[in-house]
Every structure is written in C-alpha cells, then in structure tokens.
Amino acid sequence: MKALRIHEAARREANQATAWYSKRSVPAARRFRDELLAGFARAATSPLQYPSYLHGTRRVLLKKFPFFIVFLDWQDEIYIVAVAHAKRRPGYWVRRVGT
C-alpha cells in the first residue's frame, strides 16, 4: 500500500460533502464517509486498477454517491487531487495537478 497524501482543497471538498449529507441524514453522511475512505484505500492499494482520466490522473468512482476521487499515482505515494461531484464543474481541479 502506498502512502496517501490529500490536497487541502480535496480535504475541504470531502468535508463539505459530508456536512451536506449530514444535514439531511447522519447515517447517509456516515455511509458517504465510509465509501470515500474505502475509495482512498483502494487507490493506495491498487492504483493501476483505475482507468486513466485527465492530465495524467486516475479516478475512483463512488458506487452509491455521485462523487469520484481524482488522484495521481506517484512512485511512492498516491496524491488525492479532488473529491469531485460527478455532475458539477468538470475539470475544475486541473490546476491542482501541478501542485
């Protein structure tokens, strides 16, 4: 398993999405957070199982929520670039790839 590093903006996106779900249903927020953390772990364990995406990234689609995890597979670590909503602002996170 590779080390995991999360861009601060991706961390905020995850927290904002969890808060949004929490306002509607605490169990839904827990399920979202659990699925998100499982996605992080899958990316760190088997990054090559996920298809190439944009600008050298890969992505993990969440199964039960309209979000995906955008990440870079570096030699020693997985860098989470975004926790993106699947229906909003495609590619907004691209400027993070170089940071």
Total structural domains within the chain:
1
The DSSP bridge pattern shows strands 77-85 and 3-6 to be: parallel
Domain that holds residue 91: 3-96
CA distance 31 to 22: 10
- pLDDT at 91 (0 to 100): 67
Task: Give the domain CATH number at 23.
Answer: 3.30.2310.20
- pLDDT at 92 (0 to 100): 63
7 close to 72: Cβ distance less than 8 angstroms:
no
Single pTM value for the model: 0.88
The burial class, CB within 10 Å (0-12 / 13-18 / 19+), for 99 is exposed
pLDDT digits (tens, 9 = 90+) for 17-41: 999 999 999 999 999 999 999 999 9
> Is the pLDDT assigned to residue 82 strictly greater than 60?
yes
Mean pLDDT score, 75-90:
90
